[in-house]
Structure 1
Amino acid sequence: MASTMLARAILLALAAAPVVASAGTLDYTVYAGLEHSNNVALSSDRPLSENVLTPGATFQFLQQGSTLQANIAGTFEYRRYLENRFDSQTQTQLAGQLNWTIVPDRFDLAVEDYAGVQPVDQLASDSPDNQQQTNVLVIGPTWRMRFGGAARGQLELRYIDSYASKVDDFDSRRGLVAYRLYRDLSPTDQISANVEYQHVDFNNQPSSANYDREEAFVRYTSTLAHFDADVVLGGTRMEWNTGGSSSAPLARLRIGWQPTPRNAFTLAGAYQYADAAQDIIAAPGTTGAGGLGDAADRVESLDPFANTGGLGRGAASGISVGSAVIGSQVYKERRLEASWNWRSERINLTVSPAFNTLRYRDDHTFDQTARGVSVGLGYRIRPTLTLSGFGTFEKLRYDTLDRRDTTVRLGLDLSQQWNRHWSWHASVARERRTSDAVGQSYRETQFFVGVVYRR
């Protein structure tokens, strides 16, 4: 909890002074709803019905000034279980990135904070008592250097603190030093050479779990009117306090293409050594500690019900439970995600397949292969009335455990915009999991009604 409180305090302190002189843009929503589940604990043989009151708020703050650049987006939600089958929960999802320019073109102070809800035990269902709050804070100075008109250098020092409310193995302190050399190839294209060194020290693990991470990679970015690319190629070497070491290639990719005003494609992937904290900071398709990315994309949308069709299980919750294995283990990750979106005046269609594998270095219990696809279809019945349907399919295999989970989720959402500020939602969702593991198959139906006020 201390890490989360520290992160919030730093974010507020940095934002307060510069924003007084040059205010940014703040958008927010406030919502409240009532959710009913016929199997809130996701039990295979003892379903419990529950009604949940879910007030919450979302926000996004944007600032692109000469002194402060900020992109902060978040959701805060209180979940009150009216039948008292579970304790009430306050959950936070946040992606915040700030850059404070102290000396122009010379010295900056960067702060990032990523908060979310993750499972305590990934092998169990996402019931309310199998959820925990996680937080990763990144803070440190940046020194900038110029070498002519097209080339420049950048030296970064970062302190990284990771915290989980229930799994102590995740808590760590990290020191990162990085040097980056940039060159502009054109007004839209840039290439950089990067070297990074990171020392990882876990708070509640034996010293043998601590390690050093060294990376060297080349990064190419291109931003055109209808095409953008972010490609990273290099290598990683990791050395543990016990003397063991591992090396592997490093590759990250994100490509976006909009061939017509109605069509948009994205492709993102990664091949790398990672751990849970690193994946929370820099999932494929997002910007990590080296830049100011789009924090709004990390929390889905200002619409608290926009992720109804996502892989999260909440039928209406603005916060979905992630899928990270929260702990200290290092794993080799292979991940590929794609998305196609087509929209017209009345129809909005999105298809998103995904594939990933995790191979752990030490304990292979969580070695896994996952394949899935999600489909969302929205139809505007009238200018203010929209009917949306979604379906998700995921097949997850734990190789060492010889376990297979297949999860299918279907649902409908009807929403109406009363006026510029007010709207309502009514949703129903049905989820079914079939598992080889005893007690992990379940069925659940959720209903939700709620109202939203948007600034």
Structure 2
Amino acid sequence: MPASSRLARAIVIALAASPTVTLAGTLDYSLYAGLEHSNNIALSSTRPMSENVLVPGGTFTFTQMGSTFQANVAGTFEYRKYLENRFDSQAQTQIAGQGNWTIAPDRLDFSIEDYAGVQPVDQLASDSPDNQQQTNVIVLGPTLRMRFGDAARGQFELRYINSYASRVDEFDSSRGLAAFRVFRDLSPTDQLSANVEFQRVDFDNQPNDANYDRKEAFVRYTSTLARFNADVMVGGSRLEFDGGRTTSAPLARVSIGWQPTPRNSLTLAGTYQYADAAQDIITTPGVFGTQTVSDRVEAIDPFVNTSGFGGGNAGISTGSAVIGSEVYKEKRGEAIWNWRAERWTVTVSPSFSKLRYIDDQTFNQTDRAISVGIGYRLRPTLTLSAFGTADRLTYDSLDRKDTTVRLGLDLTQQVNRHWSWHVSVARDRRSSNAVGQDYRETAFFVGVVYRR
């Protein structure tokens, strides 16, 4: 059965198994439209093409914390019309969210998570419009809860996981997850848990020896204070491939947040684990990857990628995952420091990642990056922002090094409670020792936003 058919069937089963609920949560949304001009839309080193792009779209957040239904979902929908017809028009979606139905209070729940985004088709090529694809990972299943006294409780989880990519078939998979967890409340703010997980991974379009069993055991400590929070997981992973090979490694995920003063905040996150593209999309979508979905989903500013770190598209930027079935050992570290004053805001975010693939080592890579954003409020409703990113990506097996620098300015005015406008300019430059991978681009963007 095709992956799309299985996914549709899984959603129908989930909805049928879930109780009838009343959606009475909080819905916020924005609608936007913009016009982008690029002097090198395909990011080519030899044949730059100018293009004008019409970009209408919308963002939304939905939250509900009821006794029967709880949800936290954020999404962006965007349509990109290339006015010079150099590329086909594209409709793109970005969603991260979780819904939970309480079937029997403190006994049985049913949950659905979904992660949709845009990822590259070919990691080694530039981010041109024809090198983008839609990906989606859905997770759904029941949770059985139990209590062992006043301070301890346990839960048993069953999950069906489906991953799908619109252009790379090797990414498509079906997975089954079973987990048992025991939680102990150390204090009103601190919790310790012991966790055992078993996952079966079957790829739809790969040889059978690419399928594997994943076994993990770890302890997790969480602490939530007024100005400090911590989420620390330590354990081990073991992979058993159908081809007969077995490998194991330590497992660690850490996230720490600190707000020493009302104006300063610092977040640190690190990961050491076996992963593949689908698992990374679920567990490490950003610096808050070790938190739950309900903790990390926030309202999406449709122009965060223009005035913030990413630049480029109005609402949706292309990710950096290597979409496929390969398993790799991942080391990743990120930090975000944010400072706010009466008129100034400053954000600095360095990051580091190293991927080492188990089988095909073509994409073995080391990435070092830093992003800086500075905002100054010229008037109560007018803000000027400057942003810059620098990224050094090394492919060890290919002896390839790419250095990408992006600089830009953005001017934003809040006309009234509902309406605002943006004008921005960004300059991209990549230097690479690979033939044909250098490029330069200058992009201008103007757009308006209506917020509910």
Query: Which TM-score band applies after superposition, normalised by the shorter structure?
Result: over 0.9
Map of 1:139 onto structure 2? 140
Q: Deviations over 1:353-400 (max 9, x none)?
A: 000000000000000000010000011100100001100000000000
Is 1:386 aligned to 2:386, yes or no? Answer: no
One-letter identity of the residue aligned with 1:303 = D
Q: 2 CA distance for matches of 1:294 and 1:359?
A: 30
Contact (CA 8 Å) 1:286, 1:293: kept in 2 or not?
Answer: no
Deviation at 1:321, TM superposition (A): 0.3
- Distance, in Å, in 2 between the alignment partners of 1:413 and 1:89 is 25
2:373 maps to what in 1? 376
Separation (CA, whole Å) in 1 of partners of 2:446 and 2:11: 31
Q: Which amino acid aligns with 1:221?
A: T
Which runs of no fewer than 5 residues in structure 2 stay unpaired?
none
Q: How does 1:314-325 map to 2 (within 5 A)?
A: 314=312, 316-325=313-322
What are the Cα deviations for residues 53-81 of structure 1, in whole angstroms up to 9, with x where unaligned?
00000000001111111000000000000
Aligned mates of 2:229, 2:395 — CA distance in 1 = 35
Q: Which residue of 1 aligns with 2:305?
A: 307
Tell me if the contact between 1:313 and 1:321 (Cα under 8 Å) persists in the aligned partners.
Answer: no
C-alpha distance 234-441 of structure 1, shift in aligned 2 (>3 A): same
Distance in structure 2 (CA, Å) of the matches to 1:353 and 1:161: 32
- Residue identity in the other structure for 2:404: T
2:309–2:387 contact (8 Å) kept in structure 1: no
Q: Aligned to 2:280, what secondary structure does the other structure show? A: helix
| Structure 2 counterpart SS, 1:121 | coil
1:19 corresponds to 2:16: no
1:293 Cα shift? 2.8
Partner residue, 1:187: 188
The 1-side partners of 2:51 and 2:22 are apart by 44
* Aligned counterpart, 2:297: 296
**1:122-201 maps to which residues of 2 (within 5 A)?**
122-201=123-202
- Specify whether residues 256 and 244 from structure 1 end up closer, same or farther in structure 2 by C-alpha distance, changes over 3 A only: same
Aligned counterparts of 1:381 and 1:154: Cα–Cα separation in 2: 53
SS at match of 2:170: helix
Other-structure match for 1:214: 215
Query: 355, 358, 369: which one pairs with 1:358?
Result: 355
Match status 1:424 vs 2:424: no
Q: 1:254, 1:269 within 8 Å by CA — same for their partners in 2?
A: yes
What corresponds to 2:328 in structure 1? 331
Question: Following the alignment from structure 1 to structure 2, what is the Cα–Cα distance between the partners of residues 169 and 45?
Answer: 31
The answer to whether structure 1 residue 395 and structure 2 residue 398 are counterparts is: no
SS at match of 2:305: helix
Q: Is the 1:69–1:98 Cα contact (8 Å) retained in structure 2? A: yes
Kindly tell me the number of residue pairs found equivalent between the two proteins. Answer: 448
Q: 1:205, 1:435 → 2: CA distance?
A: 32
C-alpha contact 1:263 1:341 (8 A) present in aligned 2: yes
**2:108 corresponds to 1:111:** no
Q: 1:286 to 1:339 in 2, by over 3 A?
A: closer
Indicate conservation of the 8 Å contact 1:391/1:409, yes or no.
yes
Residues 454, 107 of structure 1: CA spacing in aligned structure 2 closer, same or farther, 3 A cutoff? same
Superposition map of 1:251-270 within 5 A: 251-270=252-271
Name the SS for the 1:280 alignment partner.
Answer: helix
Letter in 1 for 2:441: E
Could you state the TM-score of these two structures normalised by the residue count of structure 2? Answer: 0.96
1:238 aligned partner:
239
Deviations, residues 302-339 of structure 1 (Å, cap 9, x unaligned):
3201133555451x420010000000000000000011
Residue 344 of structure 1 is matched in structure 2 by 341
Change over 3 Å in CA distance of 1:15–1:429 after alignment to 2? farther
Q: Which amino acid aligns with 2:21?
A: P
1:68-115, Cα deviation, whole Å (9 max, x unpaired): 110000000000000000000000000010111000000000100000
1:18 is displaced (CA, Å) by 1.7
Change (3 A) 1:228 1:310: same
Query: What is the CA distance between 1:156 and its match in structure 2?
Result: 0.1
SS of alignment partner, residue 294 of structure 2: coil
The TM-score normalised by the length of structure 1 is 0.95
Judge conservation of contact 1:72–1:295 (CA < 8 Å) in 2: no
Q: CA deviation at 1:214?
A: 0.2
Contact 1:170 1:328 (8 Å CA) reproduced: yes
In 2: Cα distance, 1:319 partner to 1:14 partner:
33
**1:34 equivalent in structure 2:** 35
Amino acid at match of 1:149: D
Name the CA shift for 1:343/1:431 in 2 (closer, same or farther; >3 Å). Answer: same
- Asked if the contact 1:393–1:407 (Cα under 8 Å) also holds between the matched residues in 2, the reply is yes
**What displacement does 1:17 show?**
4.0
Within-5 A mapping of 1:273-292: 273-283=274-284, 285-286=287-288, 291-292=292-293
Q: Percent identity?
A: 71
Determine helix, strand or coil for the equivalent of 2:21: helix
Gaps of 5+ in 1: none
2:178 partner SS: strand
Conserved? CA contact 2:377–2:383, under 8 Å: yes
In 2, distance between residues paired with 1:377 and 1:408? 16
Summarize deviations over 1:393-421 as a string: whole Å, max 9, x none: 00000000000000000000101011000
